[in-house]
Structure 1
Amino acid sequence: MLTKKKVIISIAVLVVLMTGVMLLGNQEGAAEAENKQVTIEAVNNKVYVMVQQVNFIEKAAEIEFKASLEASEEGIVSSKVGGKVVQILFEEGEYIHQGEPLVKLEEKEAGNNLRAAESQLSAAQASLTSAEVNLESEQGNFERLKVLFDHNGIAKVELEKAEIAVKVAKANVEALKANVLTAQVNVESLTDSLAYTTISAPISGMMDEKSVSLGQNVDSGTILGKVKNISPINAVIEVKQTNLEDIKVGQKAKVTIGEREPLVYEGTLKSINGSADPSSRVFKGKIQLDNPDQALKPGSFAKAEIVNDQKVEIATVPLAALAGNEDSCYVYVNDQGIARKRSVIIGETEENVVVIKSGVQKGESVICTNVTTLQDGDVIEVVAE
């Protein structure tokens, strides 16, 4: 009995061991099968994409500058006479024409002074007329006495008295002529002073830097504002000495205004200063831009590009390949069936093509579909190029 019991126990243990081995074998087989399935799924989990090779084109080289807009011509509105401001006929930013009245000063004092001067002129002219009549009379008397003297009709002393009278009359006339001339100059000056109480625009343009108020007492020479001609308008750039050989007056330029919705204007480099600024050591250049609708304003910041005679290669890709935002742009490059995320710096966009300033190389292809859902390292399969 004892022996049987041992045999039964041994068999039971053996069965348990075999069952355990079988269960363990089944679990390992299931795990291996699962791993195989995962591997198969990973291999087959491809993203099907279309790609396009980076295109390099040759174009004229462009030198980039920071720019600020300035009026092409500036006129200072100032008072030529002193007085009290009684009318202001313009608003800041308003477009006005040359000769248009802008400010009126009180006329009372200038008018009174002019009327007084005109009275003085009339009196001087009347005195001159009287003196001229007297001179004519003395001259006639002298000529009559001379005839008598020549015929021994009078003594010489009487003729000499008549001659002296003529000289005195002539001197009086000359003095009164000087008085009349002085009075005329005074009247003209006061006439101008009266006219200067109306201050007019020195040039046509946009009113800026208004500095006058109603009732203000101004002195001669007081600046009341400025008129700025902004059609055309200048984009002023700072040119380093190293760039002087690359740009010339007359070259075409592009000026870009704004960042979010940039506007590009065509212009021409009109001038470059002959000497550098003593503090910054740069030369100022002016690009002239047409501005018929007055949309461009002085003080705006811009970016200017001047085209020179050299040629450069630039990279372009389809706009569809670009992802990200204006602060961080990127593309996906096909790296032997793997999508590689590549940060790029973009340039100008034209139609459906964007210039890539840096981030891609010759011979590379960029992915043009599924760029918003791709991840760096995704397995891809190219279905079309």
Structure 2
Amino acid sequence: MLKTKNIRTLMIVLILLIIGSITAWRIYNSQQTAVIAEQPLAVTTAVTRLVNKPQVLSLTGTVEGLTSVLISSRFQGKVEQILVEDGQAVQIGATLITLDPLELNNAVRIAENNVRHTEANLHTAQMDYQRYQTLYSQNAITKQQLESTEARLITSRTEVDNAYANLNSAQKQAKDTLITTPVTGVIANKAVTVGQVVSPGNTLLTVEQLDQVYVVVHIEQKDIAAAQLGRDVAITVDAYPGEIFRGTIAVINPAAGNESRMFRVKVKINNPDQLLKPGMFAQTTLSTGDVKTVLAVPHKAIVKHKGLNYVYIDDNKKAKKILVETGELLGDSIEITAGLQENTPIIIDNLDKIKDGDALLTEGGNTL
């Protein structure tokens, strides 16, 4: 009985020792965690400064070919061959489309026959007139009969002239079965097929002259003073990220649009590699020549959360989260329009680790 009682006492002591050890460990661990939490976070700061911001006018425009030639047939005919495809480069004078010459050659033969027919009628009218003149001199016919014969002669001469004009037109059309390009450029918007019967004036395709192009923008009247002929413009397009094309203002429409009240402006750009193509959207940046002083911070200092922009500042060695409003990018910096003042120390690194209220060990204090 005594032995059993001693065993129970020993077990109780062991249990109490285990519980005490666990409790001591938890207390120690909490103390260590608190110590670690109180360790300051090493960060680098940059002091905000006012910077000069060039005033620019940013606009979205559309690329157009320097010359866009609409190719059409001058007469009705059936398409026999199409020798080009969209995107193909062509030189001035190159044949683009050929028309079936059969109907045109038939038209020439009909015109030739009409010439012969009217010439025969003219010959008959001339002989009749000469005969009636003789009869009139002999008082065998009246003057009215002579004048009637003279009128037929004049009509016959007119019919011959018309017949020759029709023949000349038919012969020219027969020679123009080859449709050529009047400019050097690139084929676009081909809208014709082999076997199609085309009518005069219907556009078959276009030839875009792309060694130089225009970017067309529309400028509000309050900004039109910034658009001056010859002024440099920077152009970017989404197709070539990071590449800047340079152009100059070449055309300013002197009248605003009736509905938009905006002025149409064309920026001419050299395009030797034909990277810029008609229909592309382009972003243009036009300097107005003015400079404005604004507050800026390094772009990497911005922390985004739920669509809002924040920065962390060093507030007496404590991290403080500040809501800010941003403006335009200025190189590696970004404009701050609200939320900060000049000479504020901004934290620019370890932003993924920092929390509002964290203790800080700062380095730097660098200016922008």
Q: TM-score, normalised by structure 1?
A: 0.67
Measured in 1, the distance between the counterparts of 2:216 and 2:81 equals 36
Matched, 1:370 2:350: yes
Tell me the alpha carbon deviations over residues 157-191 of structure 1, each in whole angstroms, 9 at most, x when there is no partner. 9xxxxxxxxxxxxxxxx999988876664443223
Shift of 1:105: 1.0
- Look up the match of 2:18: none
Decide whether aligned partners of structure 1 residues 296 and 331 sit closer, same or farther in structure 2, where only a CA change above 3 A counts.
farther
- 1:348 Cα deviation from its structure 2 partner: 5.0
> How big is the shift at 1:277?
1.1
* Amino acid in the other structure paired with 2:281: F
2:57 maps to which residue? 63
For the residues of structure 1 that align with 2:175 and 2:318, how far apart are their CA atoms?
Answer: 83
Does residue 252 of the first structure (1) align with residue 246 of the second (2)?
Answer: no
Deviation per CA, 1:93-117: give whole Å up to 9, x if none: 2222222111111001212333565
**CA distance in structure 2 between the partners assigned to 1:214 and 1:199 by the alignment:** 14
- Is this contact kept in 1: 2:235–2:284, CA < 8 A? yes
Q: Is the 8 A contact 2:299 2:334 kept in 1?
A: no
- Relative distance call for 1:343 and 1:299 in structure 2 (3 A) is farther
**Structure 1 residues 68 and 382, CA gap change in structure 2 (3 angstroms):** same
CA distance in 2, matches of 1:292, 1:282: 31
**In structure 1, what is the equivalent of residue 277 of structure 2?**
297
Identity of aligned residues (%): 25
CA separation of 1:206/1:372 partners in 2, compared to 1, >3 Å: closer, same or farther? farther
Deviates more, 1:114-123 or 1:77-86: 114-123
Question: Offset at 1:219?
Answer: 1.3
Gaps of 5+ in 2: 1-22, 123-136, 138-153
- Tell me how far 1:378 sits from its aligned partner: 2.9
Q: Distance in 2 between matches of 1:305 and 1:108?
A: 56
- SS across alignment from 2:277: coil
The match for 1:72 among 44, 66, 75 is 66
- CA 291–333 in structure 1, closer or farther in 2 if over 3 Å, else same: farther
Contact 1:255 1:305 in 2 (8 A): yes
Aligned residues: 319
The one-character-per-residue Cα deviations of 1:210-242 (angstroms, maximum 9, x if unpaired) are: 211111111111211222223311111111111
Task: Tell whether 2:75 aligns with 1:81.
Answer: yes
Q: What's the counterpart of residue 93 of structure 2?
A: 99
CA contact (8 A) 2:302 2:310 kept: yes
Secondary structure at 2:85 match in 1:
coil
Match of residue 241 from structure 1: 221
Q: Map Cα deviations across residues 282-321 of structure 1 (whole Å, 9 max, x no partner).
A: 1111111221111112222222111112112355555654
Which residue, out of 173, 184, 189, partners 1:209? 189
Q: Which has the larger radius of gyration?
A: 1
Deviation of residue 38 (structure 1)? 6.8
Between Structure 1 and Structure 2, which shows a larger proportion of helix residues?
1
* Structure 1 residue 62, shift from structure 2 partner: 0.6
Deviation of the 1:42 alpha carbon: 4.3
The answer to whether the Cα contact below 8 Å between 1:338 and 1:379 also exists between their aligned partners in 2 is yes
- 2-structure distance, mates of 1:355, 1:259: 25
Pair 373,310 (structure 1): closer, same or farther in 2 beyond 3 Å: same
Q: Residues of 2 paired with 1:264 and 1:328: CA distance?
A: 30
Judge which range, 242-251 or 174-183, deviates more.
Answer: 174-183
- Which of residues 172, 175, 183 is equivalent to 1:192? 172
Residues 283, 246 of structure 1: CA spacing in aligned structure 2 closer, same or farther, 3 A cutoff? same
The residue aligned with 2:40 is 46
Tell me how far 1:197 sits from its aligned partner: 1.7
Structure 2 length-normalised TM: 0.69
User: What CA RMSD, in Å, does the superposition of the two structures yield over aligned residues?
Assistant: 4.3
Q: Could you list the per-position Cα deviations for residues 227-258 of structure 1 after superposition, in whole angstroms to 9, with x for gaps in the alignment?
A: 22233111111111111223322211112212
Q: Is 2:53–2:330's contact at 8 Å kept on the other side of the alignment?
A: no
Deviations 1:9-62 (A, max 9, x none): xxxxxxxxxxxxxxxxxx9xx98x99987765544x211122223354325311
Q: Single out whichever of 303-312 and 186-195 deviates more from structure 2.
A: 186-195
Counterparts of 1:303 and 1:275, CA distance in 2: 23
Paired with 2:185 and 2:295, the residues of 1 have a C-alpha distance of 43
Structure 1 residue 332, shift from structure 2 partner: 3.8
1:261-340 to structure 2, matched below 5 A, reads 261-313=241-293, 317-318=297-298, 321=301, 331-340=311-320
Shift of 1:328: 7.4
